[in-house]
Amino acid sequence: MLQVEDWGCVPYDEAWQRQRELLQRVQSRQAQNTLVLCEHPTVITIGRLGSRRHVLLPEPLLRERGIPVYEVERGGDVTLHNPGQLVGYPIVRLSEYREDLHWFVREIEQCIIEVLAGFGITGHRIPGLTGVWVDGARKICAIGLHVTRWVSWHGFALNVNNRLEDFAYIVPCGIADRAVTSMACELGREVPMVEVKAYCAAVFQTHFP
């Protein structure tokens, strides 16, 4: 069964390095397929298809506010992580399921849709736009992956209770004409992160037995 590790709130650069180490162990079969769940202090990351033009906050203000920017291996454009957002890193040998990255992305989307449904939120896909959306207009979960020797790493970012105002610092995923939302925003109340993590772990273990 898929192993689940909770890393708590961890700086992005530390989690990035720990992912690399876990990736190598999963590749060499010294570790099981693993879903890492965590949160990050506020950070901006730029994927392989991203552009610094989509980081809107000037460099001096980023430094002043202590917000690092990292260019990383994952697919996609610019995203932001901050406390109250659930970040998941599925480090999985796709050869045990299907060597198809597009299939894997759709599976992650389906997992998130099921997690949201468990809390009374209807999430869905938009053709051509990776991630999970609400009402066709508000993005609630971003996904950006990388695969090395058919083992996945990087992952998804589900907005739970995080500050949505911080997304004004970027053009989220390079999409300027759609908003972002969170579980708390949709429900009008804070959602216990421990419950979201537990539900997320159970759903992913069902999809990746």
- Among 38, 111, 141, 173, the one annotated catalytic: 173
State pLDDT tens for residues 180-189. Answer: 999 999 999 9
CA 171, CA 179: separation in Å to the nearest integer?
10
CA 135, CA 192: separation in Å to the nearest integer?
23
CA 207, CA 193: separation in Å to the nearest integer?
21
Active site (annotated) includes residue 200: no
Q: State how far the alpha carbon of 39 is from the alpha carbons of 8, 80, 81, 82, 155, in Å.
A: 6, 11, 8, 7, 13
CA angle at 139 for the pair 86 and 157, rounded to the nearest 5°? 20
User: Within a 13 Å sphere around the CA of 191, how many CA atoms are in the beta-carbon half?
Assistant: 27
> Residue 72 is part of which domain span?
3-207
The chain-wide mean pLDDT, for the chain, equals: 95
State pLDDT tens for residues 3-56. Answer: 999 999 999 999 999 999 999 999 999 999 999 999 999 999 999 888 889 999
CATH number of 80's domain: 3.30.930.10
The reply to whether the predicted model has a pTM over 0.75 is yes
State pLDDT tens for residues 114-161. Answer: 999 999 999 999 999 999 999 988 999 999 999 999 999 999 999 999
Q: State how far the alpha carbon of 137 is from the alpha carbons of 141, 159, 178, in Å.
A: 12, 15, 6
* Number of domains present in the structure of the chain: 1
149: which DSSP letter? T
Checking if the pLDDT of 113 tops 70, the result is yes
